[in-house]
């Protein structure tokens, strides 16, 4: 099912390439978020796993431009057939406007603050699209298609406060998709859900033809063949310590956790 009506706007690439060149981040309080890292991501489906506090959220923030590297550099590029390759710098305010159009950000079940003040979740997305000057007929088509796909049609006239946790997770993805991004960057998009809710969110996240880079603790999710995860990064101590296939990454991560547990037990 197509999500969106056609719009006349600057064309967007089908997917993006992210390049980190010795890019790292130290927070204002001196805490290391990510050690200097060189990395290129061009695949359609990439998972990031690691224990809490190992740098997953920092890495995703550098990729989607919400965080700025304090060392090294980050670039985001994409190509539209027939056009020159577009390369963007997240430290440039002008480039960030374009990056905001190209990347849909999902943070667990977090939705824009404005959604909590709208009369309904349909009105909330309508207002967001209206700010981008999307014609009314296209706005309604987009909302209808999205809500049908994400099983939110019955809740369309409900306020955000009436949604359950699974619905809020789904709404967070739908809101990010409403602007037709080239890539979704999602930080633990199923966090806090049970097995059934996680399966529903994962299916929604991977059921359309879009590039997805995401962090998760759910190792079962990333090895499922139907989700087609191509590459998995394992973080530990603010560094990438493994980069490979999902199956090999999960084996490495499982052994890492076992070694950490044994070290703590013997301490």
Question: What's the rounded Cα separation, in Å, for the pair 132 and 136?
Answer: 11
User: Residue 201: what pLDDT?
Assistant: 92
Check: CB of residue 233 under 8 Å from CB of residue 222: no
User: Residue 27: what pLDDT?
Assistant: 96
Q: Is the pLDDT of residue 4 over 50?
A: no
Question: What's the rounded Cα separation, in Å, for the pair 132 and 95?
Answer: 17
User: Residue 9: what pLDDT?
Assistant: 64
Q: Is the pLDDT of residue 253 over 50?
A: yes
Q: Choose the weakest-confidence range: 111-115, 170-174, 181-185.
A: 111-115
Q: State the burial class of residue 120 (Cβ atoms within 10 Å of its Cβ: 0-12, 13-18, 19+).
A: middle
E-only strand ranges, 31-182: 32-41, 45-50, 71-78, 86-88, 103-107
Q: Is the pLDDT of residue 8 over 50?
A: no
pLDDT tens column, 32-81: 999 999 999 999 999 999 999 999 999 999 999 999 999 999 999 998 88
Task: Over range 7-11, report the average pLDDT.
Answer: 65
Helix (H) or strand (E) holding 187: strand 183-187
Mean pLDDT of all residues belonging to the chain: 92
pLDDT tens column, 234-246: 999 999 999 999 9
pTM: 0.91
User: Residue 262: what pLDDT?
Assistant: 84
The fold for domain 16-111+181-266 equals Rossmann fold (3.40.50)
């Amino acid at each position: 099912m197509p999500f969106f009506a056609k719009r006349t706007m600057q064309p967007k690439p089908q997917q993006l390439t992210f390049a980190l060149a010795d890019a790292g981040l130290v927070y204002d309080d001196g805490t290391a978020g990510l050690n200097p890292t060189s990395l290129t991501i061009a695949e359609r489906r990439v998972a990031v796993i690691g224990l809490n506090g190992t740098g997953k959220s920092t890495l995703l923030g550098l990729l989607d431009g919400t965080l700025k590297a304090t060392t090294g550099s980050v670039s985001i590029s994409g190509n539209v057939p027939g056009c020159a390759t577009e390369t963007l710098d997240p430290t440039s305010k002008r480039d960030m406007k374009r990056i905001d159009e190209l990347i849909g950000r999902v943070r667990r079940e977090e939705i824009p603050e404005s959604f909590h003040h709208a009369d309904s979740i349909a009105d909330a997305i309508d207002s967001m699209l209206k700010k981008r000057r999307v014609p009314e007929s296209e706005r309604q088509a987009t909302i209808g298609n999205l809500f049908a796909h994400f099983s939110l049609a019955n809740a369309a006239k409900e306020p955000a406060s009436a949604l359950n946790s699974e619905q809020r997770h789904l709404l967070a993805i739908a809101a990010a998709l409403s602007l037709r991004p080239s890539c979704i960057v999602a930080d633990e998009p199923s966090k806090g859900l049970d097995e059934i809710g996680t399966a529903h969110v994962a299916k929604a996240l991977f059921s359309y033809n879009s590039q997805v880079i995401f962090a998760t603790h759910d190792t079962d999710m990333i090895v499922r063949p139907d989700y087609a995860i191509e590459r998995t990064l394992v973080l530990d101590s603010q560094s990438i310590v493994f980069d490979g296939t999902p199956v090999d990454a999960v084996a490495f991560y499982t052994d890492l956790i076992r070694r950490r547990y044994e070290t703590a037990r013997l301490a």
